[in-house]
């Protein structure tokens, strides 16, 4: 006997992500999901971004790692609310894990919540957490072939930050090639070339992010 099922396997997660999203919307909170390979510079980008924007925006951070609370401690040193999730082995965050952190935050007092995902270019792209958009970092030391090798992540991300451009003289990596390949997979992607070490290119990212917070907030209030 054949039984028709037609059930999206990720449906349970998608439903929780939608519920999370409704709570973020109620609080006029812009949420982005930051993804990259391990060591590409997610936490460094956040440290820089917090330093630059914390006078204008109230920021909160959820840190996802398999183990350790080092990242949340780095962020908390900046004097902003940071909650660490240890997945205990899982290679990505899901909607449920994010929901479990809500009791730690006063969302009403925040403008922007950043979810720093587990370092991984594959699975985080499949699991929604209730974010407004996904952002990804690719560092130039990882190589220009990554868009072709990990198309889903490049397809799902609204913004790409190409980090560590201060190292370009020492690596065989063409930023133009990364941009060309990424735009082939996702023609509407916004791309920034940055160095979290020297600060180059970060102002453009800050301005873009400020604008995102502003336009999302006003879109919801209409």
Partner 1 sequence: MRKHNAKVLRSVRLDIGQLSAIVPESLSFCFEVMTSGTELEGAKLIMEIIPLRGTCRDCGREFEIKEYAFECPHCSSPHIDTIAGQELSIVEMEVD
Closer to partner 1 by Cβ: residue 3 or 219? 3
Q: Which two tokens stand for residue 199?
A: 């600060």
Q: Does residue 89 bind partner 1 (CB under 8 A)?
A: no
How far apart are CB 92 and partner 1 at their closest, in Å?
Answer: 9
Residue 214 found at the interface with partner 1 (CB under 8 A) = no
Binding mask of the shown chain, residues 126 to 155, with x at each position contacting partner 1 by CB under 8 A: x---------------------x--xx--x
For partner 1, which stretch binds (CB under 8 A), given 1-9, 37-45, 106-114, 193-201? 1-9
Q: Does 159 bind partner 1 (CB under 8 A)?
A: no
Residue 191 binds partner 1 (CB under 8 A): no
The 10 Å Cβ neighbour count of residue 126 is: 13
Does the protein bind partner 1 through residue 176 (CB under 8 A)?
Answer: no
Nearest to 158 by CA among 183, 179, 133: 133
Question: Tokens standing for 44?
Answer: 């460094």
Of the ranges 52-60, 94-102, 119-127, 201-209, which one interacts with partner 1 (CB under 8 A)? 119-127
DSSP 8-class letter at 106: -
Q: Which stretch binds partner 1 (CB under 8 A): 34-42, 99-107, 183-191, 211-219?
A: 183-191
First-to-last alpha carbon distance for the chain, in angstroms, is: 52
Nearest CB to partner 1, comparing residues 23 and 183? 183
Cα–Cα distance measured from residue 138 to residue 121, given in angstroms and rounded to the nearest whole number: 9
**Considering the complex, what minimum distance in angstroms separates the CB of residue 91 from partner 1?**
10
Q: Kindly list the strands in the beta sheet with 190-193, ordered across the sheet, starting from the edge strand earlier in the chain.
A: 82-86, 59-65, 112-116, 30-35, 133-139, 159-163, 190-193
The C-alpha atoms of residue 20 and residue 17 are separated, in whole angstroms, by 5
Q: Is 188 in the site for partner 1 (CB under 8 A)?
A: yes
Dihedrals phi, psi of 178, to nearest 5 degrees: -60, -45
The residue ranges that bind partner 1 (CB under 8 A) are: 1-10, 122-123, 125-126, 148, 151-152, 155, 183-188
């Amino acid at each position: 006997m054949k039984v028709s099922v037609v059930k999206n396997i990720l449906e349970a997660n998608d439903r929780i992500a939608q519920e999370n999203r409704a709570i973020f919307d109620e609080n006029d909170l812009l949420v982005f999901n930051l993804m990259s390979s391990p060591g590409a510079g997610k936490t460094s980008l956040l440290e820089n971004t917090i330093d630059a924007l914390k006078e204008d925006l109230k920021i909160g951070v959820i840190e996802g790692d398999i183990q350790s609370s080092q990242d949340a401690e780095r962020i908390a040193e900046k004097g902003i609310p940071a909650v660490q999730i240890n997945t205990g082995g899982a290679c990505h965050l899901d909607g449920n894990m994010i929901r479990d952190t809500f009791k730690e935050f006063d969302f009403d007092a925040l403008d922007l919540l950043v979810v720093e995902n587990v370092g991984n270019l594959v699975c985080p792209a499949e699991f929604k957490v209730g974010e407004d958009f996904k952002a990804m970092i690719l560092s130039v030391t990882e190589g220009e072939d990554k868009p072709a090798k990990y198309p889903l992540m490049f397809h799902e991300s609204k913004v790409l930050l190409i980090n560590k451009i201060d190292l370009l003289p020492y690596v065989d990596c063409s930023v133009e090639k990364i941009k060309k390949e990424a735009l082939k997979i996702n023609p509407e992607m916004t791309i920034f070339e940055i160095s979290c070490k020297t600060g180059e290119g970060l102002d453009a990212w800050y301005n873009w992010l400020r604008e995102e917070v502003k336009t999302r907030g006003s879109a919801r209030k209409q």
